[in-house]
Chains A and B, each alone.
Chain A
Amino acid sequence: MLDANPAYRQRPSRRMRDILYSESFRTAIYQIALAGAVGLLGLFLYQNVIENLQRQNIATGFGFLREISQFEIGETLIEYSSRDTYFRALVVGLLNTLKVSAAGIVLATLVGFCVGIARVSNNWLLQRIATGYVEIVRNIPVILQVIFWAAVIRNLPAPRQALDLWGTGFLSNRGLTVATPASDPAHLWMILAFVAGVALMVAGDRWAKRHREATGRHVDILWPGLALIVGLPLLVWLAFGAPHAISFPERKGFNFAGGSTVSPEFVALMTGISLYASGFIAEIVRAGIQATPKGQVEAARSIALRPRFIMRYVVLPQALRVIVPPLTSQYVSLIKNSSIAVVVGYPDLVNIGNTVMNQTGQAVEAIAVMMLVYLIVSLVTSTLMNLYNRLVAIKER
């Protein structure tokens, strides 16, 4: 019966048909087609770019990085002048990006944790205010917030009528000027002593844990640890003869003398991006705290654990586990948001890269450099946070 159908009789040999209809053959074909399409598209775009650049007489390659930049940068962490190379200018930009991001992350974390804790407070009023703050800050575009703060600072009084911050500094349209300790060799050693204190506390915590697991006895190292962290730098400070000179800013002519000043652009950008991020961090913290089931706290209370220990050994470890991964992505997005610096004129990587691009005309390379740097910074940040996450993650035994 079947053989009466001519189409059926003339079918390819059984083996050939098996191959054609086999899954592995088909997936191989699809993939070769996809890879070919992607490759061809890439080649097509590459050829167009080369042709277009040749027609417009634009140089290619990264040779321009060694040329002289011929522009000044208002705010630099390393020495830089207009006689330096484009490469150095971009490094200055990157350092400025890192500076504003680091300050922004600290501020965003502080504000975010406070608001997040207020969000779960059993005080109705505080909770409502925190909720309102989060809703407003999260839903206004970050650029609008940065532009707003820049406008606020621009409209502050000039240095002569600057707002006096109770003798500790001034807020004016030239930025924020605060009193700082006069530089002294003791400071470096105090920082080292602080690091040593932290290291000792971590070591003490490890020992206390081992001791507890071996003997069942709890040794509280929280207060001795804090005493070490504060005490060691203090001892060093005393050992250096307690240098207490503080440089207070004073009004002088059209500006300030003494103290240290952060530029208005920096203040505006940092405030904008960190308040925006603080709204998201507050929600992460709230979710983290609420992730610990109520039963666990009740169980801890029923075995007469002290409230302090309930927080430290029951709630916090579980909350951190929930908080850290999304917090990582908030930090990374804060770093990326710092790239809007150009709207307030803060010389970050993108702002300087943009200038380089306009001067050299080498858009492809300049943008490639920016993208690569952000990729690396994002990757490094998430790697660091993943390491920390491994510390707080569930230990499967």
Chain B
Amino acid sequence: MTTASPQFPAALPAYDPLARISAGDWLKKNLFGSVWQGLLTLITAAIFLRFAWFVLDWGVINAVWYTSDPDVCRAAAGACWAVIVEKHRPMLFGLYPYDEHWRLVLMMAIYLVTIVVSLMPRNWNLRLLVPLWVIAVVSIGVLMFGGVLGLRYVPTSEWGGLPLTMLLFTGTVLFGMPVAVLLALGRRSPLPVARGVSVVFIEALRGVPLITILFVAVNVFPLFLPAGVEVNKLLRITIGIAIFFACYQAEVIRGGLQAIPRGQYEAAASLSLTYWQTTRRIILPQALRICLPAITNHIIAAMKNTSFVIIIGLFDILTATTAVMQDPLWRKFYVEAYLFVAGVYLFFGYALSLYARKVEGWIASGRI
């Protein structure tokens, strides 16, 4: 008796996820899968190698690393990294009095230590962080302003460079995050008036460029205050950037709030928790964990946005570098100088996103 049995192809070799792929297979799969792909690879490789060779030739082989004579650089065929060595102080510290630059170096050290310590989960208790931040803020204030302990007084109008960028960025995040949370809660509030105020505030500020807000901070904000009351320009600008940051961040946090299932609110209500108890202990911890990647993106964006202060004449690292590049002796080597500034931003941005990825890992593994 013959029944037609379905014809199965011969069994495939078992798939082994740990099998090591040979170099030839890898090349075939990823670079030379077909004629067209191979051609594409060759053309891309040719262009890339040409570019890479140019960078190597210009940036390393023919580069001038150290000289105080711009003519040596002019004679060389490569990059003039010496411009950074020569001009690093005005670039990094702006208008701050030259003899007092050691104060800024010390300030940056204190700042970085404080931030690094505060970012480690094992240090997350108030008994350590509160004294740490009080000491850090006071010592940074003393170092930056001076006027006590025999230090020369330096007004905020002379602050500049990388320390200013750091202060603007930190101020933006520290002021902005609480405002963002409040705005997000307002937008999700059961009270129509709170909702209305938040929506109008968020949407109006998100619709305009940051520069107009900085113009308001510089030119209009003083008019809002009663006669005789003055707020420092640096502080006004920080608040301006912070509020702008908060409006974007509020929308991110609202996304996180919307992702919380209604059952969480109902469970909290059935335990007769109040609105603020529910928000603080049940909703926000979950919502902020959910939208952490987007929050990080906006924090990195806030760091980049501090560079907008060049338009209103604050001497952050970019303004300082642009000013240094007015020097007729060295202005030809602007590419090197701007690459250096770009490198500083890339470094801090990369560090922030690495840390954020770590935090996401901690959240996923239930550590925090």
| Interfacial chain A residues near B31, Cβ < 8 Å | 123-125
Q: Which of B63-71, B104-112, B143-151, B190-198 lies at the interface?
A: B190-198
User: When the two chains form the complex, which single residue of A48, A52, A53, A374 contacts B212, counting CB atoms closer than 8 Å?
Assistant: A374
> Nearest residue in A to B48 (C-beta to C-beta)?
A129
- The answer on a CB contact under 8 Å between A340 and B211 is yes
Q: What is the CB-to-nearest-CB distance from A395 to chain B, in angstroms, rounded to a whole number?
A: 25
Complex Cα distance, B212 from A34, in Å, reads: 27
> Nearest residue in A to B348 (C-beta to C-beta)?
A139
CB contact under 8 A between A350 and B212, given known A31-B194, A141-B307, A147-B318:
yes
User: When the two chains form the complex, which single residue of B194, B311, B334, B345 contacts A34, counting CB atoms closer than 8 Å?
Assistant: B194
Q: Which of A108-116, A299-307, A363-371 lies at the interface?
A: A363-371
- The answer on a CB contact under 8 Å between B40 and A123 is yes
- The answer on a CB contact under 8 Å between A371 and B212 is yes
Complex Cα distance, B349 from A363, in Å, reads: 35
| Interfacial chain B residues near A152, Cβ < 8 Å | 335
Complex Cα distance, B355 from A1, in Å, reads: 61
Q: What is the CB-to-nearest-CB distance from A365 to chain B, in angstroms, rounded to a whole number?
A: 10
Q: What is the CB-to-nearest-CB distance from A7 to chain B, in angstroms, rounded to a whole number?
A: 22
Chain A CB count within 10 A is highest, among B30, B220, B223, for: B223
Complex Cα distance, B223 from A67, in Å, reads: 24
Complex Cα distance, B65 from A177, in Å, reads: 37
A336 within 8 Å of B (CB atoms): yes
Contact with A along B121-160 (1 / 0, CB 8 A): 0000000000000000000000000000000000000000
- The answer on a CB contact under 8 Å between B215 and A363 is yes
Instruction: Decide if the interface of chain B is mainly helix, strand, loop or mixed.
Output: helix
- The answer on a CB contact under 8 Å between A48 and B345 is no
| Interfacial chain B residues near A34, Cβ < 8 Å | 191, 193-194, 197
> Nearest residue in B to A41 (C-beta to C-beta)?
B224
Q: What is the CB-to-nearest-CB distance from B162 to chain A, in angstroms, rounded to a whole number?
A: 14
CB contact under 8 A between A151 and B41, given known A30-B191, A336-B208:
no
- The answer on a CB contact under 8 Å between B193 and A35 is yes
Chain B CB count within 10 A is highest, among A45, A51, A141, A343, for: A141
B58 within 8 Å of A (CB atoms): no
| Interfacial chain A residues near B190, Cβ < 8 Å | 27
Tell me which residues from 280 to 304 in chain B have a Cβ below 8 Å from any Cβ of chain A: 300, 304
Tell me which residues from 178 to 223 in chain B have a Cβ below 8 Å from any Cβ of chain A: 190-194, 197, 204, 207-212, 215-216, 219-220, 222-223
- The answer on a CB contact under 8 Å between B37 and A367 is no
User: When the two chains form the complex, which single residue of A129, A364, A378 contacts B44, counting CB atoms closer than 8 Å?
Assistant: A129
- The answer on a CB contact under 8 Å between A155 and B194 is no
| Interfacial chain B residues near A38, Cβ < 8 Å | 197
- The answer on a CB contact under 8 Å between B307 and A144 is yes
CB contact under 8 A between A379 and B207, given known A125-B45, A155-B332, A367-B216:
yes
B325 within 8 Å of A (CB atoms): yes
| Interfacial chain A residues near B204, Cβ < 8 Å | 371, 375
- The answer on a CB contact under 8 Å between A139 and B207 is no
Q: What is the CB-to-nearest-CB distance from A299 to chain B, in angstroms, rounded to a whole number?
A: 21
A126 within 8 Å of B (CB atoms): yes
User: When the two chains form the complex, which single residue of A45, A336, A343 contacts B311, counting CB atoms closer than 8 Å?
Assistant: A343
Complex Cα distance, B209 from A378, in Å, reads: 10
B235 within 8 Å of A (CB atoms): no
Tell me which residues from 25 to 63 in chain A have a Cβ below 8 Å from any Cβ of chain B: 27, 30-31, 34-35, 38, 45, 48-49, 51-53, 55
Contact with A along B338-366 (1 / 0, CB 8 A): 10011001100110000000000000000
A140 within 8 Å of B (CB atoms): yes
Chain A CB count within 10 A is highest, among B222, B304, B325, B345, for: B304
Tell me which residues from 18 to 57 in chain B have a Cβ below 8 Å from any Cβ of chain A: 30-31, 33, 37, 40-41, 44-45, 48
Complex Cα distance, B293 from A278, in Å, reads: 21
Tell me which residues from 87 to 129 in chain A have a Cβ below 8 Å from any Cβ of chain B: 122-126, 129
- The answer on a CB contact under 8 Å between B191 and A27 is yes
Size of interface on B: residues with Cβ below 8 Å to A? 52
| Interfacial chain A residues near B37, Cβ < 8 Å | 122-123
Complex Cα distance, B308 from A337, in Å, reads: 10
User: When the two chains form the complex, which single residue of A49, A141, A371, A379 contacts B224, counting CB atoms closer than 8 Å?
Assistant: A49
A342 within 8 Å of B (CB atoms): yes
Complex Cα distance, B224 from A347, in Å, reads: 29
Chain B CB count within 10 A is highest, among A126, A139, A363, A370, for: A139
Complex Cα distance, B219 from A55, in Å, reads: 16
> Nearest residue in A to B197 (C-beta to C-beta)?
A38
User: When the two chains form the complex, which single residue of A49, A55, A143 contacts B307, counting CB atoms closer than 8 Å?
Assistant: A143
| Interfacial chain B residues near A51, Cβ < 8 Å | 226-227
Tell me which residues from 213 to 265 in chain B have a Cβ below 8 Å from any Cβ of chain A: 215-216, 219-220, 222-227
Contact with B along A358-394 (1 / 0, CB 8 A): 0000011001001100110011000000000000000
- The answer on a CB contact under 8 Å between B30 and A122 is yes
- The answer on a CB contact under 8 Å between A375 and B208 is yes
Complex Cα distance, B306 from A144, in Å, reads: 11
> Nearest residue in B to A342 (C-beta to C-beta)?
B311
A172 within 8 Å of B (CB atoms): no
- The answer on a CB contact under 8 Å between B345 and A143 is no
* Besides A52-B223, A364-B223, A379-B207, 14 other A-B contacts (C-beta < 8 A): A34-B194, A34-B197, A122-B33, A126-B40, A126-B44, A139-B304, A140-B346, A144-B345, A155-B332, A336-B209, A363-B215, A367-B216, A374-B212, A375-B208
Interface of A toward B, CB cutoff 8 Å: 27, 30-31, 34-35, 38, 45, 48-49, 51-53, 55, 122-126, 129, 136, 139-144, 147-148, 151-152, 155, 336-337, 339-340, 342-343, 350, 354, 357, 363-364, 367, 370-371, 374-375, 378-379
Interface of B toward A, CB cutoff 8 Å: 30-31, 33, 37, 40-41, 44-45, 48, 190-194, 197, 204, 207-212, 215-216, 219-220, 222-227, 300, 304-305, 307-308, 310-311, 318, 322, 325, 332, 334-335, 338, 341-342, 345-346, 349-350
29 interchain pairs (CB within 8 A)? Answer: A27-B191, A30-B194, A34-B194, A48-B226, A52-B227, A123-B30, A123-B40, A139-B300, A139-B350, A140-B342, A141-B305, A141-B345, A147-B318, A148-B334, A151-B338, A152-B335, A155-B332, A336-B208, A339-B209, A339-B210, A342-B311, A350-B212, A354-B215, A363-B215, A367-B215, A367-B216, A370-B215, A375-B204, A375-B207
Top 3 closest A-B pairs, CB basis? A124-B30, A363-B219, A339-B209
